[in-house]
Amino acid sequence: SITYQQGALTIDKAPLQFVGTSAANKVYDGNTLASVTAGTITGLVGSETLNIDTVQGQFDSAEMGTAKPVTVVYGLSDGANGGLVANYQWSPVTVKASITGDTSVQAPSPEVIRDAKPISRLSFLGFGGLVRMGATTGQLFYALQAKDTRTCSPLQLEGCICEQPKGQSLEVCYPAEMAQQAVQLP
């Protein structure tokens, strides 16, 4: 004989998955927002349905890279045929997409040296502290204490002093008004 007694039972939420979720590649814009396309919901019980209300994607970082992880979060609401959000559980989906450089921006052309001396020319823009170096032009950029900037480049030598150290194939150019700050080269 079988005797039934009252007891506490637990019905766990059914797990959902999303098939076909994708993220679009984008050009670097300094933020982590991703443009995503929603997939379809799988794992629903019987003929129940749920509605996809929101789909938001976010790259793991704003830096450029290929096949970067994109976390996609779905916002769902109750659907038809008894489909209740409270009966289901789901997790964010991770897909891959790339952040590339802006292909419409071209790297600047290197400056052409006016005279055909067989030397390399290193151009300084003052001596107040290194700000950056132009990889394409080979120029070092220095900021003056007054946050002013002066330039000496192969195409802009007016008001500049250029010196070539003994036995070197390097010429250093700097603004004439900065001459008292220049370090003597051996």
Domain boundaries, the chain: 14-100, 120-180
Residue 159 has what pLDDT?
Answer: 75
The residues, ordered by sequence, that sit 6+ positions from 180 with a Cβ below 8 Å of its Cβ are none
Q: What CA–CA distance (Å, rounded) separates 62 from 28?
A: 7
45 burial type by CB count under 10 A (0-12 exposed, 13-18 middle, 19+ buried): exposed
Which pLDDT score is estimated for 151?
Answer: 64
pLDDT digit string (tens) for 68-101? 999 999 999 999 999 999 999 999 999 999 999 8
Residues of the chain with pLDDT under 50: 112-148, 180-186
Residue carrying structure tokens 């030397």: 119
The pLDDT score that the predictor gives to residue 158 is 74
Question: Biggest alpha carbon distance in the chain?
Answer: 110
83, 44 contact by CB (below 8 A): yes
Q: List the structure tokens of 183.
A: 């370090």
pLDDT of 16 reads 97
What ranges make up the beta strands (E) of 36-179? 36-37, 40-42, 50-59, 65-78, 88-89, 93-100, 120-123, 130-133, 140-142, 160-163, 170-175
CB proximity list for 181: less than 8 A, separation 6 or greater? 126, 127
Assigned token pair, 77: 């609401």
Residue 170: the pLDDT is 67
For residues 120 and 111, give the distance between their C-alpha atoms in angstroms, rounded to a whole number: 12
pLDDT of the residue at 97? 97
Helix (H, G, I), strand (E, B) or coil at 36: strand
pLDDT recorded at residue 130: 43
Bridge partners (DSSP) of residue 52 are 76
Beta strands at 140-142 and 130-133: parallel, antiparallel or unpaired: antiparallel
Length of the chain measured in residues: 186
- Tell me what the pLDDT averaged over the chain comes to: 76
Residue 87 confidence (pLDDT) = 96
Q: What is the pLDDT of residue 146?
A: 45
